[in-house]
Amino acid sequence: MEGEVSVAVPRNVSPELAEEGLAREIVHRLQTMRKTAGFEIADYIVTYYQGDDYVKQVMTNYADYVKLETLSRSLIEGKPEEGVATETFKLNDHAVVLE
């Protein structure tokens, strides 16, 4: 028919795009945690994280992005001292702990 347009969208996501998506979701979760914890918009934080090798790879590859978007002075793999707000998420079949 006249005026019809077809659009094809690939179903496969490149590894780079999947990593970027996970990094963006981590930023979103950290921003929500910041808000819940009562941080001001300009407050800097230190972010601790735990996850599998894939999560570690994403946090390494997108460290600058995550730090910039969340005002994290540093991203540290491991557990913080007691009493720090912690949340666990299942993101793209990967368990992620953010503190």
Q: Assess contact for 34 and 73: CB atoms under 8 A.
A: no
The 10s digit of each residue's pLDDT in 14-59 is 999 999 999 999 999 999 999 998 999 899 999 999 999 999 999 9
Question: How far is CA 33 from its chain centroid?
Answer: 12
> What does the pLDDT look like over 84-93, one tens digit per residue?
888 898 988 8
Q: What is the pLDDT of residue 83?
A: 81
Helix axis angle for 63-70 and 15-37, nearest 10°, is 30
pTM (two decimals)? 0.84
